[in-house]
Amino acid sequence: MILSVSRRTDIPNYYFDWFCNRLREGWLYVRNPMNERQVSRIELMPETVDCIVFWTKNPAAMMNKLSLLDPYSYYVQFTLTGYGRGCPISGACCCHASDSSPAPSGKSV
């Protein structure tokens, strides 16, 4: 099973400690967003989970705790929001394809 954590709520940013507690317990409950009466118990044992995919805008909260994920295969998808020229993220390319300003490599985009 591939476990997607989480496209509806940023669990890595806001609830990573809760998620790690659920991994230790070996299960969690998930409510179906289309049918609130349907609740499923998901087994989280390493032999059951093939991969965990984390979705987040800010992986910082989980970075010092990655060793808790050692029994699992996982990767992190993170979103960089297009902030424009006043981008607060140092070193990030905030250029658009139609923008003629140089990209960080010095080449035109």
Query: What tens digit of pLDDT does each residue of 27-55 get?
Result: 999 999 899 999 999 999 999 999 999 99
Cα separation of 82 and 85, whole Å?
9
Low-confidence ranges of the chain (pLDDT < 50): 92-109
Q: What is the pLDDT of residue 83?
A: 64
Hey, CA dihedral for 80, 83, 88, 94, is it positive or negative? positive
Q: What is the pLDDT of residue 82?
A: 67
Cα separation of 3 and 42, whole Å?
9
- 69 exposure class (CB count in 10 Å sphere: 0-12, 13-18, 19+): middle
* Cβ neighbours of 93 (radius 10 Å): 15
Query: What's the whole-model pTM score?
Result: 0.70
